[in-house]
Structure 1
């Protein structure tokens, strides 16, 4: 069925392209598609002359179609996917399966050519961004490092030669408002400057808190950004320089990565001590039984006391310096970023705060307490943090001479340091955690923050590379391009862990002492034969923290070879081979100091053909088809160690995946003032070798489609032992098989100005968000419709924009996950019952914006 759908959609688009070509090949029209200049290959070139699958968006295009968020960007970019909740980007099935700072994603991101690790940079206002470029496919030669899936770059608006100023203001539903301003122009001599700032706020959330004393969430918060630039030139323009400084702050409640975007379905998960009812809508009482949630309960609701509080501080500096010599340019690019992101989340999933005695009766009714019954404090939260700083230096030598041979050579250096805290789980109201004991009741090191689980790491990542790319024009129509890059990566990590228990089977003494027990040494021994462990695990008696040191290095030779055929100025066909590489990493900073912590590097052999064609200046079609041989995919999972034949939880290198895809982007301007944009992507990213691994939500592999493999006879005979599965044929996470986006916009011309109407429709096929392609990890197909009206006066002094997004309030899914009950009748591993957590795109939003230019 899927193959039929693929064939049908592909034929429809191919037929449409062929029809348009025949219809417009002979047309003579003044309604020409404007040329778009990009820097995808570190030179300024027309988009239609670059032998790379590139999606590029100017600030005007973004304003017209309504690209205001990273999710909007994915809607218009074939093969691109993004999960807001965990800030992970994915391109053509290649992405990031963890946020651990000791490993990278598969898509390299740049701001003005300087590496950045935050996708949120791409959601900046058009006040700041002149152009956004998305390069699809491995970019290992010129972008290197972790560009195994592709690369993204934003180009800032630069200072102007003449005075310019602009102010903007907007209002919308959910008590949303924003104000922006920019000023630019000459300062003194041949130096120009630019200063811009924005402040935005949302007062009402997308999700309602059923706790009358709690706050709603989803989009709520305040964010501001200020950016300053200077640029100038010396020696009659032979030396040019540009400097940018930027500061960003967020103070949000569920707005941005880590914010509340999810709702939950299934049974309430109640532990043996009745401390948790973590499903939505959840109960304010404890001890309730496993009960199916009625379908008519508030879907976009939750019930907690502690919210998803997000704080971010980021400061970035970038410098470009270019020396124009007679036959080549020397360009130096450097940048530095400090990034501190903090997220507090509610762990108990309830609004209950008052302590109570265990046991607790059904439906929350207290019962008479016998002597010695345990006191329990229900409130729990986690403090997640990424404090990161990085800087890079790049030196390019680019030819400018006339002749068939052109080349670019470069050197690259990158260094990142981070303090990464994955788990800092606390009982903030329980003073007993300040003074834990050993299993025998002896005092342990103080725990002033009342933590019960802590895992963090201090990390350093370094990368060095040398690269070169050469183009040779064989004939007027044929050009050959070849490139090579050698990359060396080195990483270090210093891990810290501490764990406590209370009222559980692992610390029965706590039922007598009513004091938590420090079980760090037993639960996180850190014993390992992993080659990366250079500092064996040890416990600091003054702090109680257990530490371990890791270090390793990786290297890779990457490159590309392509041939381009350009028979006329309106046609470009290309075929290319690319070798990609991503360094290995660590699963560092866990609460248990996992024995197997290292992954090896990923590699990819990518084959792609493409065609870029413009018909009569009014119809443009860019198509690409690709085949990837993707090896050693880094995924954190539980599986069988082939050496020890034991099941371990770690970062595994999945042996092999095959990725096949087709993408088409079109622009059609049939008459003056009417434009139709359409793109389609087909993606089949499938594991070809992947054995043997365990699904934590289906430990006995009883789900339809599960294939048991690599299990011992004892495990198969057991009634409860987890069983491994062969994952051959499973789709890679976030690999949407089909996606279609269509935009229609028309402009009416008046004496007073012009009015543009823009309508966008997006359809996204069902998508799996785990390598276990099961119903609980599946997001259903969805569609969304957006509309915009823009009025510009005749003098281009002001613009008024009215917009509506998600007009029909569709429940667009951006992520899906499963959680198995840990206790109660539904926790039986031989029964398939899994609660579902679904992440949604924002509901209907609307508003108006005024822009005024001086």
Structure 2
């Protein structure tokens, strides 16, 4: 490209934290450019005409950003749901576009890319600052430059690469809740042509929860290993081979019940219509979560584990005259298992929920990227992904002899009362391209096109067993049977005067599905230089997420010609205008205004089965919705020592056409037209401050940040009871950095005000379970000491 603008001042917004150790000379250092690869080639962030937040490793460390929830709090228009802890949930939302369920056969709406390789898992966002170079969060559809599922945006996690000089880092952390962490990183040259990087991370932390009636939860126990080899065969050929292995045994907890039954005295006697409610025999009359969210009563120590996750990534880059060819080849496999106390109670009747996932995927991507000096740049890519996924799910009552020895004669040694299995084979292929034209020194135009095809072959099975307990006392039913059963304290007994109790199989269903979806998407962008310090850009683009199945739910109604198990594509048209600029070389800011026309959004709904009394989560397409909003990011160099950063986003969403949904809180059908989408807080605000004070032979660096997140709806009904209230969070860090740069010492605190919020997970049960709130809170106040040695 013949014209290379120099908008150094505008980059202040994105470099404010990257040079915290600069001391009195920090202001000058802040004028350096930050380079990102959001559009497949290196470019300064200020020259990239999209709404993007870039968090460098230095920023992550200084801000105390250690997990996905922290990243979401700091990023405009981003939300995250962890669900039950231990890696469950994994649901990222950008501008209201996300993932309503993690069940096999469904897809996320935000593409996460680990060094260019697509992944379903958001755990890659929570890596060590010694191995992650930066995280790029691109908002809005990005399909003309990325492999798949970027309807809501794309998140790039970019690893550090081996350098030309030896660098070794030892990082240790100790903190409350018996937290200990050790991270070892070493990189450097093996020869003039070959470099290496190795990294090991280990983290142990006790649970935030106390179990009043049984063993305390496990907490966190993780291990991670990474190795890289980087080879320059010639000046024009580079090959990077990366291997990672992860294992963990973490806690997983049922969301705590936050209140009692709302339909007393007619409290439900069953879990749906299937088995007796364990709460009728619980040790404690009231769930401790109602008074203290970090206290539980459970007879089962839940655990989620990955024994050995293997990831192989190979990236080969060859520079020809005028074009760079990049070949990405990746493989991943892992087995994930989870078991938790489903009822969350200490009771003679113990319900256990088990989930597993065995997944393997291979992906190949071939990219052609122009590297000439003309006015036109272009990218052409071919993408292929093959994914095999098996996901069993079961609810068991292993002590119930009537389920185990049921009159149907079906073997059921584990006491299953609900069981489902989904098996998925998915293939995704795409061809994408984008052309960028520098029309003149001020004006740039861009056009992109993409064709996607997704094929899914799947099978699903479902079994349900029934316990006849409350039908065995003649006309008296529950009024006679339950008091006698509870008086005896035996949930599996048969009170005098009652008929024989028995179990039987209600249903044994299976189905197979095969569908193919395709789409053509496009993107048009124009950007214009305003003076030397401003960039105005406008984009119209479309996004696509393939249809699918919520395997195991058995959604198909055999009496209709349609297959209700299949949901359609999501399709999105996005309109966006943005501006990046500076004022007086001290205040830098970036803004964006956008409007989304959203069709066939995939929504998870709880549908009550009249035969079993169980509310089963199912997937459906909402006919039409809209999202619009405003985003603002700024940095102010207040003084030579003090830098202030402020981020704000406003989101407004709405279902704009009739959408009739059954509300399990009362069994009524409701039209949710006019309601807002899930996980779209109207207002989000973050303020961060960085202060560097020279003291003797070094600097004291103080950082603090405050985040405010508005109310969030958790269901399509937008009822008050199903709303997570607004919350705030304050983090701070004080570090000592000597001039020698050979070590650092810091103390830190997170959630210093000990704010309580159920942003991690929140739900309300249906009428069958008394319309009860349950949730999992964000982390409480924590603090610690970090020491780092560089050599």
TM-score per shorter chain, which class? 0.7 to 0.9
**Residue 330 (structure 1) aligned to one of 319, 325, 331:** 325
In the alignment, is the contact (CA less than 8 A) between 1:33 and 1:618 conserved in 2?
Answer: no
- SS of 1:335's partner is strand
Q: Distance in 2 between matches of 1:638 and 1:785?
A: 35
Matches within 5 A, 1:41-440: 41-85=39-83, 86-203=89-206, 205-211=207-213, 213-216=214-217, 220-235=219-234, 237-254=235-252, 259=253, 262=256, 264-267=258-261, 270-272=267-269, 284-285=282-283, 297-313=291-307, 314-353=309-348, 378-421=349-392, 423-431=393-401, 433-438=403-408
Q: Do the aligned partners of 1:495 and 1:593 also contact (CA within 8 Å) in 2?
A: no
How far residue 62 of structure 1 moved from its aligned partner, in angstroms, is 1.0
Query: What is the deviation of 1:31?
Result: 6.2
Cα drift, residue 601 of structure 1: 0.3
Q: 1:670: Cα distance to partner?
A: 2.3
| Cα distance, 1:260 vs structure 2 | 5.4
Q: What does residue range 448-467 of structure 1 map to in structure 2 within 5 Å?
A: 448-467=413-432
Give the CA deviation at 1:333: 1.1
Q: For residue 753 of structure 2, give the secondary structure of its aligned residue in structure 1.
A: coil
The answer to whether residue 742 in structure 2 is matched with residue 802 in structure 1 is: no
Q: What is the DSSP-based 3-state SS (H/G/I as helix, E as strand, rest coil) of the residue aligned with 1:822? A: helix
Instruction: Give SS of 1:245's match.
Output: strand
Q: Which SS does the other structure have where 1:689 is aligned?
A: coil
Counterpart-to-counterpart distance in 1, 2:61 and 2:125: 14
C-alpha deviation, 1:516, in angstroms:
2.5
1:601 aligns with 2:569: yes
2:70 aligns to what SS in structure 1? helix
| Kept in 1: contact 2:255–2:762 (CA 8 A) | no
Q: Tell me: CA distance 1:87–1:32, structure 2 relative to 1, closer, same or farther (3 Å).
A: closer
Task: Flag the 1:161–1:450 CA change in 2: closer, same or farther, 3 A.
Answer: same
Q: Distance in 1 between matches of 2:576 and 2:281?
A: 53
Q: Distance in 1 between matches of 2:183 and 2:698?
A: 23
CA distance in 1, matches of 2:444, 2:281: 67
Would the alpha carbon gap of residues 283 and 799 (structure 1) be closer, same or farther in structure 2, given more than 3 Å must change? farther
Query: Partners of 1:285 and 1:65 in 2: how far apart?
Result: 43
Deviates more, 1:114-123 or 1:157-166: 157-166
Q: What are the residue-to-residue correspondences of 1:387-786 with 2, within 5 Å?
A: 387-421=358-392, 423-431=393-401, 433-438=403-408, 443-444=409-410, 446-503=411-468, 514-521=501-508, 546-590=509-553, 596-637=564-605, 650-699=618-667, 723-786=668-731
Determine helix, strand or coil for the equivalent of 1:73.
Answer: helix
- CA separation of 1:425/1:736 partners in 2, compared to 1, >3 Å: closer, same or farther? same
Cα distance, 1:103 vs. partner?
1.1
Pick one of 772, 778, 785 that aligns with 1:835: 772
Could you give the per-residue CA deviations for residues 490-521 of structure 1, whole angstroms, max 9, x where no partner exists?
00111122221112578999985544212224
Task: Mark the CA change 1:638 to 1:182 in structure 2 (over 3 Å): closer, same or farther.
Answer: closer
Return the alpha-carbon distance in structure 1 between the equivalents of residues 435 and 749 of structure 2.
47
CA RMSD of aligned residues (A): 2.6
Provide, for residues 449-502 of structure 1, a one-character-per-residue CA deviation record: whole Å limited to 9, x for no partner: 332211011101111011110011111100110000000000011112222111
Unaligned runs of 5+ in 2: 1-12, 14-25, 84-88, 475-493, 559-563, 609-614
Provide closer, same or farther for how the CA distance between residues 556 and 334 of structure 1 changes in structure 2, counting only shifts above 3 A: same
Question: For residues 737 and 730 of structure 1, what CA distance do their matches in structure 2 show?
Answer: 13
Counterpart of 2:36 in structure 1 is 38
Tell me the distance in 1 between the aligned counterparts of 2:110 and 2:270: 44
Once the two structures are TM-superposed, the CA of residue 187 in structure 1 deviates from its matched residue by 1.8
Aligned to 1:849: 786
How far off its partner does 1:437 sit? 2.8
The change in CA–CA distance for 1:479 and 1:273 in structure 2 (over 3 A counts) is: closer
TM-score, structure 2 as length reference: 0.87
1:610-659 alpha-carbon deviations (Å, 9 max, x no partner): 0011234432101000001001111132689xxxxxx9984221111111
C-alpha change, 1:477 and 1:612, in structure 2 (3 Å) is same
Contact 1:639/1:692, CA 8 A, preserved across alignment: no
Deviation at 1:296, TM superposition (A): 8.1
Distance 1:296 1:837, change over 3 A: closer
Q: Deviations over 1:289-336 (max 9, x none)?
A: xx8x89983343221111331112421111110000011100011211
In structure 2, relative to structure 1, the CA distance for the partners of 1:570 and 1:507 (3 Å cut) is farther
Given that 2:304 and 2:336 are in contact with CA atoms closer than 8 Å, whether structure 1 keeps it comes out as: yes
Deviations for 1:676-696, whole angstroms, at most 9, x for unmatched residues?
Answer: 111000000111013211111
Q: For residues 638 and 310 of structure 1, what CA distance do their matches in structure 2 show?
A: 25
Q: What's the secondary structure of 1:390's corresponding residue?
A: strand
User: Which stretch has the larger CA shift, 510-519 or 37-46?
Assistant: 510-519
Deviations 1:219-249 (A, max 9, x none): x1210100000001113x1110101000111
Q: Structure 1: which 5+ runs fail to align? A: 1-16, 18-27, 354-377, 522-545, 641-646, 700-722, 828-833
Cα pair distance change 1:780/1:30, threshold 3 Å:
same
Which whole-Å CA distance do the structure 2 matches of 1:434 and 1:188 have between them?
A: 65
Q: Secondary structure at the match of 1:776?
A: helix
1:338-387 CA distances to partner (integer Å, 9 max, x unpaired)?
A: 1322111212332123xxxxxxxxxxxxxxxxxxxxxxxx1220111121
**Which runs of structure 1 show a deviation greater than 6 angstroms over 4 or more consecutive aligned residues?**
274-279, 293-296, 505-511, 591-594
TM-superposed deviation, 1:570: 2.4
C-alpha separation in 2, matches of 1:405 and 1:83: 41
1:520 match: secondary structure: strand
Secondary structure in 2 matching 1:42? coil
* TM-score, L = length of structure 1: 0.81
